[in-house]
Structure 1
Amino acid sequence: MKLRIKRAPNNPIIVPGKYDWRMATVFNPGVIYENGRVYLYERTAGQLRPFICYIGMMESDDGVNFIHSSDKPVFTPAMAGSKYGSVQDPRITKIEDTYYMTYAYRPFAWSSHPTGTGVPESFQTDFPGFDGDPMKNQTRSGIAISKDLYHWQHHVWATPVELDDRDVILFPEKINGRFTMLRRPLQFVGEKYGTDKAGIWISYSEDLQNWTDTELIAKPEFQWESNRIGGSLPPLKTDEGWLVIYHGVETINETTKMVVYRAGAMILDIDNPSKVLYRSSKFILEPEEYYEKYGLYIPSVVFPTGGYIHEDQLSIYYGVCDTAIARASVNINDLLTFIKENSTN
């Protein structure tokens, strides 16, 4: 079957501007749907040099037209430990009576120089107290918590400081009494780890602090994900299992660092999410529209990080070219059928 994904007619629905902390870019939002209202957490930056990122909050009654909840970010690098840092790519889940935000964190923001053809040239920035050693400035992932969606505080680090480990995403409920987390440790490649490129791993914890050893559940298999893969939006519970939307990166030209980011999908076992039941060999979303192909930061990027199911529709919110935010929707039953029909399992 041909999958029909409908893009919002007024995409991109959220663009930079208005406040100094979001003048350059807004992208990769976390999203949660509560009591008929959509709450969206945007990754923003006021400039590229240094590329200090913040997390702003917006809300909407229709999921398309958003207003800011505050004229200031709801989560900042200083709240994570360093005012010179960067907080990135929030994913939002609710477990019992608490909201959780997983986020990527770099203690000292890079300075970025977009090339217009591929991944930007980025350099360590001179900051007080930082000697420029990249090993002291790797991306780790943290967990922030809130009781009301508006006020957040850092709760715990989900990954160790010595790992570059992002795309960390919590499942929206405990499984067999444990928190469950997808992750993408960049250094876990080679014969020892069973994959030549970065893949999707899973860990479990009873307290969010002590995690089981990581287990590889998916590695790059298809041409459109030949560079690496990683989790995208928080897993969604369906009758078929846990629906996981993930991103795949294909390198088109190594010299110019030209890449294409697409979105794929798989279904994990409800009681044992370490087990992949179905994984589509075909991607479900790729850059097609102008705003998905051309932007300030990286061309040819669709990067989903938030979504929800309401009635029979899955709404997906995704960053485009690390520049703006777009929305698409698809019938959830059609998507599950598409995954199963194109599964290699």
Structure 2
Amino acid sequence: MQEAAVVARDNRVFLLYRKKRTGYKSFTIAVSDDGIHFRDTGETAELRAENGLLRNLNECASFRVTSHEDVFFMSYTHQRRAKKRTLNIATAHDVNFWLTHGHFADIEHSSALVETAMPEHRYLMFFGDKQIHLASSHNMHQWHIYNKPVLQPRPGHFDEHPLEVARARITDKGIELTYYSKKRVKLRTVYSIGIAVFDPHRPTKCIWRSEAPVWEQPGSWRNAVKPIGTADVRDQTLYYWQDRYGHLFVSLCVPGDKLAALEVEHRPELMRHDGNPIIRPNSGHAWESKATFNPAAVYENGRVHVMYRAIGDSDLSVLGYASSPDGIHFDERLSDPVYVPRDGYEGLKVSHDGIPNQYQSGGTWGGCEDPRLTRIGDRYYMTYVAYNGWNYPRVALTSIAVKDFLAHRWRWKKAVLLSPSNEVHKNWVLFPEKVKGKYALMHSISPDILIEYFNSLNDLEGRTKVIRSRYGRASRTGNWDNWIRGAGSPPLRTEQGWLLFYHAMDVRDPNRYKLGAMILDINDPTKVLCRSKVPILSPDAHYENHGMKSGIIYSCGAVVKDKDLLIYYGGADTVACVARAPIQEFLKKLVMHREPTLEVAQVTP
């Protein structure tokens, strides 16, 4: 398969493509009911020039096809021998016969044509290869080209790279333009897709533009590809791509006319508790006089139990305990810490030679930090950050019997270190049940999700070898989470998959930790199914900005209680807070934020 184009009408997708040896005279026509599986119709489509002569399709490229009422519109570039490439416009009432109406000698880029109800600009054409320009006509022969571009790359956003037109169409919101943002990575182009809406009465005026990409080329897709068109089928928008071997690929994403609603109405959000903070420092206890934050949480025997990080007069992090019957109002809070440093790697009675490490962690210079609790069988397993103020922070693991935990008998197992020395590691979480028949520990989510599997939890607790992990920034330029910091609470199992919360920052809004959510495949948690396109919680409340560190939301615990999702987090590295949402409503909105998917289109004779 060589040059190809797609267009949808009446819930069917038509594929026009050139066969390698016989495709210079006509297109072969294939049709699909689902946009993925095509069958050849046995028919062909011919393209004729303005003078009626048959076009040599070897001289044509960059086909873009749209449909409006009973007319198909096609734009394509034409170059004959050494002559300059020109942009051409053709129409058809069926897909079999196309007649060219005119060409542009000064335009050689791909374009998209749309018909409006306005007499003075009945036909609009968007075109461009770096910036997007606009031309209008009342008859498709005489065109007015507007001087200024109507859409330009936005520095710091996902579409900061050169732009290319995908398609244009009329919707009840206005004139919708879908465009590609093209980023060069080594020797190939990586695509993101955006949508803009223009005023139908003033088509040069952009009235809305997507803040996040509606689709991004996954990093795992290494093939060099080019776009060939867009189609809507059964409330899904399909984008078509072709690689240099002629293979056809299909990606699915949110329909453009629903995207604005998605970014506003379908935003998964959390509601802060009006009584936040729920746990504050206690000046009467020297061990928690300065900060009480980053609580882990479990729901057991009708109560929510939290273990929170506390900093007191010694500036050493220890862990305190509190519990609540409703997850909001905590009527039990112990007067002594329930977990304290026990070994040298946690800062207990250690003398050092040489120069200390200047890594300050959450306002302290050592201790036990940022716990995560996971129930597996009859024990609670706790991962936490062990830091002695001298070396780099490391991830440690301990456990306690559930019955001892509930009885406040703090018989913790001796902790083991999971992460290597001389590296900074945090935010490691255990899955609450087996994955692929094994116990699973997630130790990185950026740039890739990394999981270590174990046959037995004894492999963890008696561990002598460390887990080699890797952390780096994922390629999410232009998104709110372009600097992902790490996982939040341990994953929660839902009908849609593993629900994982994570911390991230935006380089355009620096030094503000925000909370996002994603759903991972239940059988392969390295696969992201959905990801919130906006933060589900941002540090906007006063108690998230006044404390040891301004602009911080940091979650280590989440539970589901009475159909409510309760997320526990630290504010400003000083206080403990809670936010809630009805779990089913939250998941329903989150699954609207589907991650990019790819399928190989199939064409059968």
- Specify the code of the residue in structure 1 equivalent to 2:541: E
Q: Using the TM superposition, give the Cα deviation of residue 321 of structure 1 relative to its aligned residue in structure 2, in angstroms.
A: 0.5
Q: How many residues align?
A: 300
The one-character-per-residue Cα deviations of 1:47-79 (angstroms, maximum 9, x if unpaired) are 4xx631111111111212224553221111225
Query: For 2:557 and 2:393, how far apart are their aligned partners in 1?
Result: 20
From 536, 555, 574, the equivalent of 1:323 is 574
CA contact (8 A) 1:226 1:248 kept: yes
Residue of structure 2 equivalent to 1:26: 292
CA contact (8 A) 1:233 1:304 kept: yes
Q: Using the TM superposition, give the Cα deviation of residue 200 of structure 1 relative to its aligned residue in structure 2, in angstroms.
A: 4.8
- Specify the code of the residue in structure 2 equivalent to 1:100: Y
- Specify the code of the residue in structure 1 equivalent to 2:438: R
Shift of the 212–153 alpha-carbon distance from structure 1 to 2, 3 Å rule, reads closer
Shift of the 174–156 alpha-carbon distance from structure 1 to 2, 3 Å rule, reads farther
Residue of structure 2 equivalent to 1:246: 502
Higher relative contact order (CA 8 A, sep 6+): 1
- Specify the code of the residue in structure 2 equivalent to 1:94: R
Secondary structure in 2 matching 1:54: strand
Percent sequence identity over aligned pairs: 32
Secondary structure in 2 matching 1:167: coil
From 199, 204, 219, the equivalent of 2:474 is 219
Q: Using the TM superposition, give the Cα deviation of residue 162 of structure 1 relative to its aligned residue in structure 2, in angstroms.
A: 3.0
Shift of the 200–269 alpha-carbon distance from structure 1 to 2, 3 Å rule, reads closer
Secondary structure in 2 matching 1:337: helix
Query: For 1:336 and 1:288, how far apart are their aligned partners in 2?
Result: 23
Show structure 2 runs of 5+ residues with no match. Answer: 1-265, 350-365, 597-605
CA contact (8 A) 1:200 1:229 kept: no
Residue of structure 2 equivalent to 1:272: 524
2:485 counterpart of 1:229: yes
Aligned counterparts, 1:56-205, within 5 A: 56-78=320-342, 82-83=347-348, 85-108=366-389, 137-147=391-401, 148-149=404-405, 150=408, 151=410, 152-184=412-444, 195=447, 200-205=449-454
Structure 2 length as normaliser, TM-score? 0.47
Residue of structure 1 equivalent to 2:304: 38
Query: For 2:470 and 2:594, how far apart are their aligned partners in 1?
Result: 21
Shift of the 52–211 alpha-carbon distance from structure 1 to 2, 3 Å rule, reads closer
CA contact (8 A) 1:87 1:105 kept: yes
The one-character-per-residue Cα deviations of 1:244-282 (angstroms, maximum 9, x if unpaired) are 0111123457xxxx5111111111111221221222222
The one-character-per-residue Cα deviations of 1:170-193 (angstroms, maximum 9, x if unpaired) are 1111223322112249xx9xxxxx
Residue of structure 1 equivalent to 2:589: 338
Residue of structure 2 equivalent to 1:10: 275
CA contact (8 A) 2:269 2:536 kept: no
Q: Using the TM superposition, give the Cα deviation of residue 304 of structure 1 relative to its aligned residue in structure 2, in angstroms.
A: 1.3
Residue of structure 2 equivalent to 1:117: none
- Specify the code of the residue in structure 1 equivalent to 2:429: I
Query: For 2:417 and 2:438, how far apart are their aligned partners in 1?
Result: 17
RMSD: 2.5
CA contact (8 A) 2:417 2:466 kept: no
Q: Using the TM superposition, give the Cα deviation of residue 226 of structure 1 relative to its aligned residue in structure 2, in angstroms.
A: 2.9
Shift of the 220–303 alpha-carbon distance from structure 1 to 2, 3 Å rule, reads farther
Q: Using the TM superposition, give the Cα deviation of residue 306 of structure 1 relative to its aligned residue in structure 2, in angstroms.
A: 0.6
CA contact (8 A) 2:483 2:504 kept: yes
Secondary structure in 2 matching 1:272: coil
CA contact (8 A) 2:373 2:382 kept: yes
Structure 1 length as normaliser, TM-score? 0.79
Query: For 2:305 and 2:318, how far apart are their aligned partners in 1?
Result: 16
Show structure 1 runs of 5+ residues with no match. Answer: 109-135, 189-194
Query: For 1:219 and 1:141, how far apart are their aligned partners in 2?
Result: 22
CA contact (8 A) 2:529 2:595 kept: no
CA contact (8 A) 1:89 1:103 kept: yes
- Specify the code of the residue in structure 1 equivalent to 2:515: A
Query: For 2:301 and 2:382, how far apart are their aligned partners in 1?
Result: 19
- Specify the code of the residue in structure 1 equivalent to 2:273: A
Secondary structure in 2 matching 1:291: helix
Query: For 2:429 and 2:397, how far apart are their aligned partners in 1?
Result: 9
Query: For 1:212 and 1:163, how far apart are their aligned partners in 2?
Result: 12
From 555, 564, 584, the equivalent of 1:313 is 564
Query: For 1:324 and 1:301, how far apart are their aligned partners in 2?
Result: 11
Secondary structure in 2 matching 1:286: coil
Q: Using the TM superposition, give the Cα deviation of residue 33 of structure 1 relative to its aligned residue in structure 2, in angstroms.
A: 0.4
- Specify the code of the residue in structure 2 equivalent to 1:204: Y
Shift of the 52–200 alpha-carbon distance from structure 1 to 2, 3 Å rule, reads farther
The one-character-per-residue Cα deviations of 1:202-227 (angstroms, maximum 9, x if unpaired) are 22223213677658899362543233
Query: For 1:153 and 1:295, how far apart are their aligned partners in 2?
Result: 36
Query: For 2:338 and 2:514, how far apart are their aligned partners in 1?
Result: 29
Shift of the 340–216 alpha-carbon distance from structure 1 to 2, 3 Å rule, reads farther
Shift of the 276–3 alpha-carbon distance from structure 1 to 2, 3 Å rule, reads closer
Q: Which has the larger radius of gyration?
A: 2
- Specify the code of the residue in structure 1 equivalent to 2:373: I
- Specify the code of the residue in structure 1 equivalent to 2:423: L
Shift of the 34–272 alpha-carbon distance from structure 1 to 2, 3 Å rule, reads same
Secondary structure in 1 matching 2:539: coil
The one-character-per-residue Cα deviations of 1:126-167 (angstroms, maximum 9, x if unpaired) are xxxxxxxxxx61010001110122312333222122321110
